[in-house]
Amino acid sequence: MKKRLKIAAVVTVLVLAALTACVVFDPYMAWFHKVPRARLTIDGVRERGWMHRASKGRGLFITHGYGQKVESYLVVFTARGREIIWRCAKWTAPNLPVFPIGDLSPPCWDIVIDDGPTPKSDPPIPKRNFVSGDNFLEFTLNDGRRMRTT
């Protein structure tokens, strides 16, 4: 009986280890790690928030706000050296040390195709005016304020 329990335990551990390895090393999965001492300011005023950097280094989630007014922005650096910034409308990056995102359904991509009239139009997205340096990046939020992360 003890021998069967040992075998079952070893098989269970091996299966869990294999599944964990598949998830961690999946090429279609990006892991975002929290930047521990990230500092956010909006128009020069310190703002509550957090930042996550992609394990492959080509993306950031920057989240700021309080209570019900928390919003995240996704910053993606392209292979051609450009940046793409958009606000995650209905999703907020979790305040966790690490989280994964797969490529099949990224949380920030709210692409809706509709031929009908839209009753309410969103205000136009302002020009981002992205600036970056050695230890900072700065861009314009959807409401026109300037976000700076260091």
Place of tokens 């020009």: 127
A 10 A CB-CB count for 94 gives: 15
% residues pLDDT > 70 (the chain): 83
Collapse the DSSP code of 15 into the 3-class scheme (helix H, G, I; strand E, B; otherwise coil) and give the result. helix
- Domain boundaries of the chain, sorted by first residue: 28-149
> What are the angstrom distances between the C-alpha of 54 and each of 15, 86, 95, 117?
27, 16, 15, 37
Instruction: State residue 25's pLDDT score.
Output: 63
CB 149 within 8 A of CB 40: yes
* Global pTM value: 0.76
More confident residue, 50 or 103: 50
